[in-house]
Amino acid sequence: MRFPSFILLAPVGLFAFGACADRSPGPPRSETRGVASALSAGPAGSDDGFARALAPRTFTFPADHGPHPEYRTEWWYVTGNLNTKEGRAFGFQWTIFRNALAPAVAARGSRWGARDVYLGHFALSDLLPDGGATGPRFLSFERFRRGALGLAFASAAPFRVALDDWKLASIATGAAGPTWPARLEASAGEGTTRRAIDLVLEEGKPPVLQGDRGLSQKSAIPGNASYYYSLPRMPARGEIRLGDQTFAVSGLAWLDREWSTSALSPDQIGWDWFALQLEGEAAGSELMLYRLRNRDGTADPVSRGALIAPDGQTRAIAWRDLTLTETATWTSPKSGARYPAAWQLRIPSERLVLTIRPMLDDQELDGAFRYWEGAVGVTGTRDGRPVSGKGYVEMTGYADATAPPR
Amino acid sequence: MLGVALGVAVFVSIDLANQSARTALSLSLGALQGKATHEIVASSPAGLPEELFVRLVRSGVRPAAPVVEATAIITPKGPGGKPEALPLLGIDPFSEAPFRPAVGRIAGGGLDLKTMLTTPGACLLARETAERFGLGPGERFPARFGTFERQLLLSGLLESATGDSPSAWADLLICDISTAQEATGRLGRLTRIDLLLPEGAFSARELSLVRALLPPGVLIQEAAGRLREGDEMTRAFRMNLAALSLLALVCGSFLIYNTMTFLVVERRRLIGLLRALGATRGEIFSGVLGEAAAIGVVGTLFGLGAGVVLGRGLVRLVAGTINDLYFALSVRDLALPPLTFAIGIAVGLGVTLLAALAPALEATGAPPQGATVRSLLEAKSGRALPRATVAGGIVLALGALALPFSGWTSSFLVMFGAIIGFALLAPGAAVLLGRALRAALARRTGRVGWIGRMAASGLERNLSRTGVAIAALVVAVSVTVGVGAMIASFRGSVERWLDRSLTADLYVAPAEREAGFVGASRPATIIDRLGAIPGVIRVRPLRRAEARSTTPGAGTIRLIAVEADPSATVIRQGDAAEAWTGFARGEILASEPLAARLGLSVGSTLPLATADGVKPFRVAGVYLDYASDRGIAMIDRAHYRRLWRDDRVSGLGLDLAPGAGDLELDRVAAAVRALDPQEPLGVRSNQELRRRSLVVFDRTFKITGVLRFLAGLVAFLGVLSALLALQLERTREIGVLRALGMTTREVGALVAAETGLLGLTAGILSVPVGFVLALILIEVINRRSFGWSMDLVLTPGVFLGAIALALSAALLAGVVPAIKMARTSPAEALREE
């Protein structure tokens, strides 16, 4: 489960969106409607003409790494935890959303005519600052581009997703070459707020289909679903840059791919999403979990999880088979939003008890809409034996839950 | 009070009009430019390839915003709608926010990104502009872009959420870059790319990084240049206006002084009485000043109000002239800068008090008995005369000292030195003139003789009043004369220049040029197509273009690429034969304003950005030209085509067989118009073009004409109040004369003769003063500041007109006092004794 970008279609001060790109501070909050209200208001355009995720489909690779223009929304979502040889830790998020403005548009004379708008988010978390001050410990950047002229685009063969100089592309250049390894790049900011990343990602575990054979139901309404697969354990190696310091790093990344036309129902206010890579007693396993929160505070019954075994086999975990308890909260000084800041997760069927904690409290993205997306650490037990791990958590719908609905 | 009000009003109105034009200028340029620090532009008119933008952002050059600019011609709905040229700003919304935050802050439902990006022709207008054109959201309307007519869709209205300067977006058509490219037919091209480079240490590094990405013929420059250029472009014009407003201020001050003197004079008797009753000098002094202050306050307030009203009228004239001469600028709001009002108030009150100071001192200084006696005052005035004369000489000399220096300040100093100097000399000259007249009439007997002699000596005897009146009249009339002579000379020179340079029989230009699209052009094939029209023996193509110069402060240079035509161009500097030889080699000819602006002379070089990068161009000669006050560089068309890779044409001259009559002209013109219905051409005959050029000239000087009229009005009021003061004081004198047997007719004649003499003196004095002012305007202001040279044309009419103006102003002003005095019965006039 990831952040859908059809907020782009909400008729809010759209010009303001670019304002925070590479710049801080962003635009005044009052001008951008939050996630929840934008989502509950629904997409501005009609879903007519777009394909819907109604039934399981057959995934084919590498074609499905590329775009699915018949669906309204799509994203390439890479997160990961990295370390220097000396043990300094970093988290990163690199995301490109594609969002179609219309199912089809007339052919135009100008090459600037566009059907798709792309949105990029890039964030870097400096988790263990034993190397001294390198500016803010968490910085995020946002960019918008139209899908035209090669300014922003996605293609399957060769595999490429790009927005300006932010790109994820196969290292093999030919159309017939292997998709992986791929190079992931982004840079933004200037001076002490300059942040850059340049990694080579291996495929690691093969694609894991989430939900029912890749059909991930987001509410009881048919069609409110997405096609969803993950590469949950991608070895990553390269360098990152903070200010004028460069760090050689390696670690694990997680790629989420999802495309859909509509997902949430009006009752849903936001969600919490977990992507955890486990070590110790559960070494080589990953846990994916999402909770869709209703306005009344309950979790939508379609909320679910999946435990991916070292051999890639997935075991689905229904919501009723787990307990997720918030054990701490953190209030954002910027937005005033109160986010959960620690969880205890119990999955009796898997004999798992995990404690999940942010590696850094403030990993709130400050773009056209606010959400929390950050690196977390995991400790716990499986069958009473120790389990550790790292991962990423996303929380949406908090910044606006504190504000009166508009 | 009227005097104070008028003086303040004239100054305030001109200053407001001037400021409004300037505010509108920076607003409209600022809206287009935004916050960019640098911009990437092409040296050729074709613009930038859009791939350059992609290359920049892929290389991480951010923030960068692509811009397509063009001119759209839109006709307002409803009957009688005249087509208007609106600047079109084609933008990429995703790149905009850091550059034009005003757009970014616009809230409301008007901005529908989906429509803007996916619907061809979708565009946005400020609400007030949409209303002016009678358009509502969702409405389709036609717009002309060059030769193309396009259907646009008003997809939303722009409203500033923050309420600040919505007029920045007024008269601007905003659309997505895709629509802008399609509408203008310039697919694949950008006008420019705005950049926001970091300041300080990073700047140089980023700049060199960007430079390395630019193809030849593309350059990066500081964005502030555009605003500065626009500012500088109209600077000369605005400085001219500022000079006029200062002249108005001088005239206004005279008027205020006159008014105050009149007031004190009216109360002389009262003051004498009060003093006799025991009022102290201090009390009288503060009483007079208090009254002056009261009058000053009320008059100034009226003046400010009238100034705003008058300013509204003037601002339209100013904006019209800027539209004619420079670029599309619409001034719909009158800017009300506090500074103008502050100066207006300071002048109104300050001059009033200052003007009251002298009469107040004079009134309090007199002994109680003497206050009522004029002779004492006149004796004092007589003694002051040499001092005023000497002071006048000094001011003149000081003004002359500024003569060798160039620049606006010194030009102003020279002019004001002359005006104030001559004004101070005027009373002395009047005395001399009066004495001469008396001597001339010494032997005349009869009525003419004695009345004339009385009137002539009256001029000197009543110097305390007449002196100021004459000075005011001289200033006002000489300004009229000087400005009039300058305009006449200018017009004459322009006419001769038009006669000489308009040598072709017919002039052809893209039809859309007439609607204000100055960049209109046609492909070079039009030359042969026009040449094939029967009766056309020669086609002379012309290309208007712009080239950036790397000379600091030079900005954009207007280029005219033509084939050499020595008979149509007057070489003012440099040997003509050598100039044309150089021209054929690819050297440039600089127009006089260009040479003056950039300090160019024969042999100097001007670096210009060509399609192959910056190249130095030698100046082969300086030629006479009135087409642009910014200046023009003329270059051989063959060289231009090679260096800028541009062989389009902006205009063409057609020569017909010698002896072609009107019928033949009409036939060829019709053939030209019918040549290409898709991309219509406009045709004008030689005579029509000449006439239209002069119409523009006359419109440009309309505001000057208005100011001349205002100056005349000020002079008239000045004389009127001076004469009223004078005659009021002389009630008793007239009574004595009447008692001595003078008839009412004779009294009337005496008053008329006195005022007539005053007017005549002022008129005669203003002739040389006006002449000197005209010389200064032509030789100092115009030549030095604009680089325009013109031959001084002195028509007797201008001078006779000046004398007539002064005379009639004086006589007209004398009518009321004359009638009043003639009607006074001697007994009544003497009763007070």
Residue with token string 């950008």: B190
Q: Do B181 and A110 touch (CB under 8 A)?
A: yes
Least confident window among A220-224, A315-319, B551-555:
B551-555
A8 contact residues in B (CB cutoff 8 A): 113
Please report, in angstroms and rounded to a whole number, the separation of the first and last CA atoms in chain B: 31
Interface check A41 vs B, CB under 8 A: no
Whether residue A382 is predicted with pLDDT greater than 90 in this model: the reply is yes
Query: Which pLDDT score is estimated for A66?
Result: 95
Are B302 and B6 a contacting pair, CB within 8 Å? no
A24 interfacial to chain B (CB closer than 8 Å): no
A positions 145-184 inside 8 Å of B (CB): 145-146, 148-151, 162, 164-165
Q: What single string gives the DSSP state of each residue in B44-103?
A: STT-EETHHHHHHHHTT--SEEEEEEEEEEE--SSTTPPPEEEEEEEE-HHHHTTT-HHH
Q: Do residues B327 and B231 touch, judged by C-beta distance below 8 A? A: no
pLDDT over threshold 60, residue A329 = yes
Q: Which residues contact B443 (CB under 8 A, 6 or more apart)?
A: B449
SS (H, E, C) B314-379: HHHHHHHHHHHHCCCCCCCCCCCCHHHHHHHHHHHHHHHHHHHHHHHHHHHHCCCCHHHCHHHHHH
- Enumerate residues 753 to 772 of chain B having a beta carbon within 8 A of any beta carbon in chain A: none
pLDDT band at A20 (very low <50, low <70, confident <90, very high): very low
Q: A30 CA to chain B: closest CA distance, Å?
A: 11
Contact B105 A45 (CB under 8 A): no
pLDDT by residue (tens digit) across B340-393?
Answer: 778 778 877 887 777 777 767 766 666 665 555 555 555 666 666 777 777 777
10 Å CB burial of residue B491 (0-12, 13-18, 19+) is middle
The model's pLDDT over B410-440, given as tens digits with 9 standing for 90+, comes to 777 777 787 778 777 877 877 787 778 777 7
Average pLDDT of chain A is: 83
* R_g of chain A computed on alpha carbons: 20
Instruction: Name every residue whose Cβ is closer than 8 Å to that of residue A396 and which is 6 or more positions away in sequence.
Output: A3, A35, A36, A270, A271, A371, A372
Instruction: With CB atoms and an 8 Å threshold, state whether B60 touches A164.
Output: yes
Helix count and strand count (H, E) for chain A = 1, 23
Q: Which stretches does DSSP call E strand in B521-601?
A: 536-548, 556-562, 571-573, 588-591
β-strands B632-636, B148-158: how paired? unpaired
Whether residues A101 and B58 touch (CB distance < 8 A) is answered with no
Establish if B178 touches chain A: CB-CB under 8 angstroms. Answer: yes
For the segment A48-62, what is each residue's pLDDT rounded down to a tens digit? Answer: 789 998 999 999 999
Q: Which residue of A has its CA nearest to B64?
A: A164
Chain B within 8 Å of A8 (Cβ-Cβ)? yes
- Location of structure tokens 């402060």: B553
R_g over Cα of chain B? 32
Low-confidence ranges of chain B (pLDDT < 50): 104-110, 161-166, 833
Q: Which residue in this structure is represented by tokens 């005379």? A: B807
Interface test with B, best of A14, A22, A50, A197 (most B CBs within 10 A): A14
Q: Would the CB atoms of A165 and B114 count as touching at under 8 Å?
A: no
Report the chain A residue with the minimal C-alpha distance to residue B52. Answer: A149
Q: Which residues in chain B touch residue A367, judged by CB atoms under 8 angstroms apart? A: none
pLDDT in the model for residue B680: 75
pTM value? Answer: 0.66
Residues in chain B: 833
Q: Strand locations in A261-384, DSSP E? A: 268-280, 286-294, 304-308, 314-318, 323-331, 338-347, 352-358, 364-366, 370-382
A18 vs B202: CB contact, 8 Å cut-off?
no
**A97-155 per-position pLDDT tens digit:** 998 888 887 788 899 998 899 999 999 999 875 555 556 789 999 888 999 999 999 99
Say if the Cβ atoms of A150 and B182 lie within 8 Å: no
Residue with tokens 């036939």: B667
Whether the Cβ atoms of residue B717 and residue B255 lie closer than 8 Å to each other: yes
The answer to whether the Cβ–Cβ distance between A8 and B198 falls below 8 Å is no
Phi-psi region of B277 (alpha: psi -120 to 50; beta: other; left: phi over 0): alpha
Q: B51 CA to chain A: closest CA distance, Å? A: 8
Q: How far is B530 from chain A (nearest CA, A)?
A: 31
A105 touches chain B (CB under 8 A): yes
Between residues 189 and 228 of chain A, which touch chain B (CB distance below 8 Å)?
Answer: 190-191
Of A14, A102, A112, the CB nearest to B177: A112
B120 touches chain A (CB under 8 A): yes
Contact status of A3 with chain B (Cβ, < 8 Å) = no
ipTM of this predicted structure: 0.86
Candidate from B58, B111, B202 with C-beta closest to A14: B111
* Mean pLDDT of all residues in A201-205: 95
Cβ distance A150 to B92 less than 8 Å, yes or no, reads no
Q: Which of residues 90-109 of B touch A (CB under 8 A)?
A: 92-98, 101, 103-107, 109
Q: How far apart are CA B375 and CA B382, in angstroms?
A: 10
User: What CA–CA distance (Å, rounded) separates B511 from A321?
Assistant: 78
**3 state DSSP class of B777:** helix
Which strand (E) or helix (H) includes residue A73?
strand A73-83
Q: CB-based burial of residue B797 (10 Å sphere; 0-12 exposed, 13-18 middle, 19+ buried)?
A: exposed
Quick check: A144 and A157 in contact, CB under 8 A? no
Give the number of A-B residue pairs with CB atoms closer than 8 Å: 128
Cα B193 from Cα A348, distance rounded (Å) = 60
Instruction: Say if CB B780 and CB B239 are below 8 A apart.
Output: no
> What pLDDT was estimated at residue B107?
37
In this predicted model, what pLDDT tens digit does every residue of B730-776 receive, in sequence order?
777 777 777 777 777 777 777 777 777 778 888 888 888 888 888 87
Predicted pLDDT at A33? 31
Tokens of B89: 């700003």
Closest CA to B7 of B339, B472, B422, B470: B472
Please indicate whether, in this complex, the C-beta atoms of B177 and A144 are within 8 angstroms of each other.
no
CA distance B223 to chain A (A): 20
What's the pLDDT score for residue B800?
82
Contact: B58, A19; criterion CB under 8 Å: no
Question: CB-based contact (8 Å) between A406 and chain B?
Answer: no
Asked whether B15 and B343 are in contact (CB, 8 A), the reply is yes
Give percent of chain A above pLDDT 90: 58
- Helix-then-strand count for chain B, H and E: 28, 21
* Residue environment code for A307-339, b if the CB has 16+ CB neighbours within 10 A, otherwise e: bbeeeeebeebebeebebeeeeebebeebebeb
